[in-house]
Amino acid sequence: METLSAVLAVVGLMFMVYFYVKFPYFLHDCAFAVRSLRTRTRRMRFRRRVPLYTVLDCFLDAVHRHPHKAFIVFEDDVYTYLQVDHWSNRAAHAVLKHADLHEGDTIALLLGNEPYFVFLWLGLMKIGCNMSLLNTNIQGRSLLHCFLCCEAKVLIAGAEYRSTVCEVLPELRERGVHVFLLCDNCDVDGLQALKDKIDSSDDGPVSHTLRANINMRSPVAYIYTSGTTGLPKAGVVLHERIWGGTFFQYLFDVKHDDVIYIPLPLYHAAGLIIGLNGAIERGITVVLRRKFSVSQFWNDCRKHNVTVIQYIGEIMRYLCNAPKRETDRQHKVRMAIGNGLRADVWQEFQHRFGVKNIREFYGASDGNTAFLNYTGKVGAAGKVNFLQKKFSPHALIQYDTDIQELVRNSRGRCVPVPTGETGLLVCKITKITPFEGYAGDPQQTEKKKLHNVFEEGDVYLNSGDLMRMDHQGFIYFQDRVGDTFRWKGENVATTEVADVISELDFVGDVNVYGVKVSGHEGRVGMAALTLQDKQQFDCKKAFNHVTRFLPAYARPRFIRILRSMELTGTFKQVKMSLMKDGFDPERVTPPIYFLQESSESYIPFTPTHYHAIISGEICF
Ligand SMILES: *[C@@H]1O[C@H](CO)[C@@H](O)[C@H](O)[C@H]1NC(C)=O
Ligand SMILES: *[C@@H]1O[C@H](CO)[C@@H](O)[C@H](O)[C@H]1NC(C)=O
Ligand SMILES: *[C@@H]1O[C@H](CO)[C@@H](O)[C@H](O)[C@H]1NC(C)=O
């Protein structure tokens, strides 16, 4: 008898060891699955609630529960939940009174991070408007394009964007657009001040009837793909989508007494949905920062007792690159939420600053799936579990980076890559994982979709991201596909940059790509071009053109001149060999030029510059 139980115990133990070795993340998976299911149930409950329950209603509940809790901390100001409610009422009343608006109209905001962004976000939701959240880096005709593709009737711009607005004012006025500047008074013809009007408006509640026709499938915002120049695309964000992103903080176990630090721009989904709206769902305090600053980061965290920070890869690298201080671990930050963190930086960050939990996720505002890292695997952007496989069918498929094309087999179907190899992430478009497309741009919407991927008639969304998955289901971000690259947290569309450069009269063919620079996340922009017959490269003119028409992150840092452009058999430009050459003057046949802001020009690029970049003396 005794031997039998001993044998059983040993067998049991062996089985457990075997099971643990074979499925080390089984418990993590289960715990996360339970949390995901709970989130799903909550979402469903919110979604079905009658009357409708949006993030705005969630905010109003929070105001009711803890009116005097700090909601927004910005520079030296603190606004409680109740005060923000009042301010958003004022914003709503002022806009209603001074702009000729109707329910469902679109209002474009060109605003940096500041409390008025939050007041307007909530205030305009109160009057049932859609908001188009313009990237504050863009200007000129790109701005006009973004503004027009969502058919906005009103533009509200931050005071610091006055000259950007003035540049496009004639076109806007021609189209009968109301243009407001967030300042106290304004002497430009056709530009109305708005701040004074908000400040003097009534702070009483805004009638529900103004948003009576909204439902979960109503658009609430347009968030632009950080597409570069010319033509960013306006991703449509529905109320139900906002709920989806809002739950990340809940999924990551952010508690009601946490304080979150948001240095990311609110016009992108990460800052706005996961950060700000997630904070509303948790009912917590947000420390909002106008712009990320290395030197102020930890001071801010200490001063405001921040416990959760939001990041993108660059932020963490910049923090790690800063000189070590004795106070590095004096703070209360316990969790970092974000994406784009590389394994080396992750470990350094954790050791140096003592932040235990790093919650990396993968997702895009115009994507239809997300992966979350819930286990503790360094470098992984997330993990795929059985629930996700079921509810959000996706695959990594073969992609030929040399010619930048999908690989299809003889039957015209895509080919999944073997485990461990890099492939293009595609996710099936279904009811549960929908794709809302881009406002006013059916062509771009169609371009994101892949048809007949595995069987006749199926439709998948092309993420544009090359990923790798290991045998345990951890998924790792590798790169963007060749027609875009990532720099400073923005996706740069190479064709759009090329279009701008080809407008220079001395330029022949242009090929734009990103090159790796040690010590930097993503890729820095580079253009290879041929010159028109008997023409010279005009450094000054190129600089002026590029700075005028491209946002800073999209400007090619390096330009190399080619005698002729290499083409593939199908007359596509070859990027791979150019990317491999990089910007090393020893490998690249001259001439090669370098964008130097201080001289307001491109300058010839020398080995001295090269070494200064490699050693980190010249930073981007
Ligand atoms: C704005 O949202 C409303 C519903 O809330 C919708 O009917 C309308 O089409 C949207 N406007 C645009 C320009 O998409
Ligand atoms: C931060 O926490 C400390 C100690 O718990 C407290 O004395 C201080 O008032 C807090 N500061 C803020 C801004 O909440
Ligand atoms: C993944 O999550 C674990 C657990 O929170 C964390 O320790 C680890 O740093 C994360 N890894 C990355 C790259 O985010």
Q: What is the average pLDDT across 52-60?
A: 92
Task: Tell whether 371 is covered by a domain.
Answer: no
Q: pLDDT tier at 61 (50, 70, 90 boundaries)?
A: very high
Which atom from ligand 1 is nearest to the alpha carbon of 236? Answer: 14
Strand partners, 396: 425
Q: What is the mean pLDDT of residues 355-363?
A: 85
Name the CA radius of gyration of the chain, rounded: 26
Residue 20 lies in a domain: no
Ligand 3 center from residue 380 Cα (angstroms): 8
Q: Which amino acid is at 571?
A: F
Q: Which of 170-179, 236-245, 334-343, 401-410 has the lowest mean pLDDT?
A: 401-410
Q: For the chain, how many helices (H) and strands (E)?
A: 21, 30
How do residues 488-544 score in pLDDT, each as one tens digit? 878 788 878 888 898 899 998 888 999 988 878 788 999 999 998 888 999 999 999
pLDDT of residue 94: 95
CA distance 574 to 564: 12
CB atoms within 10 A of CB 26: 11
Protein residue with its CA nearest to atom 2 in ligand 2: 305
Measure the CA–CA gap between 353 and 309, rounded to whole angstroms: 12
Beta strands per DSSP E along 211-281: 219-224, 234-238, 259-262
Please write the tens of the pLDDT for every residue from 203-260. Answer: 999 998 888 888 888 888 998 876 543 467 788 888 888 887 888 898 888 999 999 9
Residue 39 domain-assigned (yes or no): no
- Using DSSP's 3-state secondary structure scheme, residue 3 falls into helix
Question: What pLDDT, on a 0 to 100 scale, did the predictor assign at position 228?
Answer: 41
- Of the three residues 177, 206, 240, the one that is the final residue of a domain is 240
Is pLDDT larger for residue 237 or for residue 340?
Answer: 237
Say yes or no: 475 and 489 in one domain.
no
Would the pLDDT of 199 be above 90? yes
pTM for this predicted structure: 0.76
What angle do helix axes 55-65 and 239-246 make, rounded to 10 degrees? 50
Nearest-angstrom CA–CA distance, 273 and 366: 13
Q: Is residue 36 part of a domain?
A: no
Pair 393, 278 in one domain: no
What residues have CB less than 8 Å from 524, skipping those under 6 apart? 487, 514, 515, 516, 517, 557, 558, 583, 620
**Probe target for ligand 3 pocket from 334, 351, 360, 521, with the most ligand atoms within 8 Å of CB:** 360
* Chain mean pLDDT for the chain: 85
Q: What are the pLDDT digits (tens) for 577-612?
A: 788 888 988 888 889 999 999 999 999 999 999 999
Question: What backbone torsions phi and psi does residue 22 show, to the nearest 5 degrees?
Answer: -70, -40
- Is 116:108 a contact under the CB 8 Å cutoff? no
Alpha-carbon separation of residue 289 from 40, 65, 116, 304, 577 (angstroms): 31, 26, 13, 12, 41
Domain limits for position 561: 484-615
Tokens representing 442 are 């059916």
The confidence score (pLDDT) of residue 1 equals 54
Residues 351 and 232 in one domain: no
111 and 174 co-located in one domain: yes
Q: Which among 338, 366, 394 is the end of a domain?
A: 366
Task: Determine the longest span between alpha carbons in the chain, in angstroms.
Answer: 98
Tens of pLDDT, residues 380-436: 667 776 666 777 788 899 998 766 788 899 998 999 999 988 899 998 888 777 787
C-alpha 417 – ligand 3 centre gap (Å):
26
The verdict on residue 2 lying in a domain is no
Question: Are both 315 and 461 inside the same structural domain?
Answer: no
pLDDT for 563 beyond 70: yes
User: Count of domains in the chain?
Assistant: 4
The answer on 100 and 181 residing in a single domain is yes
Residue 469 belongs to domain with CATH number: 2.30.38.10
User: And the tokens for 167?
Assistant: 């540049």
Model pLDDT, residue 119 = 97
Query: Amino acid identity, residue 357?
Result: N
> Is residue 12 a part of any domain in this protein?
no
Residues 451 and 505 in one domain: no
In sequence order, the 6+-apart residues with CB closer than 8 A to the CB of 578 are 511, 513, 526, 528, 560
Band the pLDDT of 3: cuts 50, 70, 90.
low
Asked if residues 406 and 423 have their Cβ atoms less than 8 Å apart, the reply is no
Q: What pLDDT is attached to residue 97?
A: 92
* 509 assigned to some structural domain: yes
Cα 305 to averaged position of ligand 2 atoms, centre (Å): 6
343: domain CATH number?
3.40.50.980
Q: How far apart are CA 527 and CA 594, in angstroms?
A: 11
Atom number of ligand 3 nearest to Cα 376:
3
Last residue of a domain, one of 480, 511, 532: 480
Q: What is the per-residue pLDDT across 431-468, written as a single tens digit (0 to 9) for each?
A: 777 787 888 778 878 888 889 999 899 999 888 888 88
Identity of the amino acid at 560: R
Ligand 1 atom with the shortest distance to the CA of 214? 5
Structure tokens that stand for 207 in this block:
């009638």
Is the pLDDT at 2 greater than 80? The verdict is no
Structure tokens of 62? 């929070």
Top-confidence residue, 29 or 159:
159
In this structure, the answer to whether residues 388 and 263 fall within a common structural domain is no
Q: Is 380 in the pocket of ligand 3 (CB under 6 A)?
A: yes
Pocket test for ligand 2, best of 285, 305, 332 (most atoms within 8 A of CB): 305
Percent of the chain with pLDDT over 90: 42
From CA 75, how far away is CA 472, in angstroms rounded? Answer: 45
Say if residue 260 is in the same domain as residue 338.
yes
CA nearest to 491, candidates 593, 380, 340: 340
CA distances from 357 to 259, 353, 375, 376 (A): 15, 11, 10, 8
69 lines ligand 2 (CB under 6 A): no
Q: What is the CATH number of the domain that holds 501?
A: 3.30.300.30
Q: Which residues line ligand 1 (CB under 6 A)?
A: 104, 106, 130, 150-151, 214, 218-219, 439
Cβ atoms of residues 266 and 387 within 8 Å:
no
Take atom 10 of ligand 1 and give the residue whose Cα is closest: 104
Residue 11, domain member (yes or no)? no
Q: Are residues 259 and 233 in the same domain?
A: no
Q: Which of 548, 541, 552, 527 is nearest to 601 (CA)?
A: 541
pLDDT for residue 92: 95
Q: Residue 584: phi, psi to the nearest 5?
A: -70, 115
Which ligand lies nearest to the CA atom of residue 305 in the structure?
A: 2
* pLDDT range class, residue 184, cuts 50, 70, 90: very high
Q: Are residues 273 and 216 in the same domain?
A: no
Residue 162 three-state SS: helix
Same domain, 501 and 453: no
With cut-offs at 50, 70 and 90, classify the pLDDT of residue 481: confident
CA angle 539, 543, 496 (to 5 degrees): 120
